[in-house]
Structure 1
């Protein structure tokens, strides 16, 4: 797999049915290594190692329903109270991040109501803070680090 615009992380790999699999620390199992999974696993390590979020606050690839349509989010980070702090959309490195990518994560966020958004293809990372009152998002330079007081008041 190609190098990405993240720090260097140590991953566990194995061959599974003639395909390479990577160990997902959150799902606690090996996942077939696709280009998008390569990005997703870097995001997980970025959250754990650099932003210091605990594993127990991170969830990967779960179904959600939006207008009776089943969708799957890539990564979410929860606050201690169970609300969603960060919603992350991962794309394969060859996928260009465009307006439709932001539209996709914004549609997901109508249901999830995350405080922060991250969109990445492993090379380009975009971070936003939601402004629900004005129905828009504001771009940021980086995501916040984990704080022990991330519950909403």
Structure 2
């Protein structure tokens, strides 16, 4: 999958983002990378994903610049997958999905993980969409306009 071939004719940023990071396995690979997973074998072990599918997803994520490959930090012959700045910018999307899942996809008394702030060991504040002036926005408070990227 290349970004131009798959998404180049779609004007919707959501559709383009979904094409690149929107499938389950790509999101879980990125999630694991935020948890310091770097090697193919670690991704495969954590996700239980078939090697051919994992290889295809990692290749696509490297092609679009979400990951870059590097020599292994321990000097071995292996390579590691590291999030680029573009990949690290997926973090708010992951937090938003996590918070939505925590609120809506677990029953009372059901065990689940929670993302905590390292400094204070407290759950993160709920993400909110805000205007440039700081006002909380709901879907009806926004509209779309076509623009040309400079």
- TM-score norm. by structure 1 comes to 0.25
Higher relative contact order (CA 8 A, sep 6+): 1
| Structure with greater proportional strand content | 1
- TM-score norm. by structure 2 comes to 0.26
| Structure with greater proportional helix content | 2
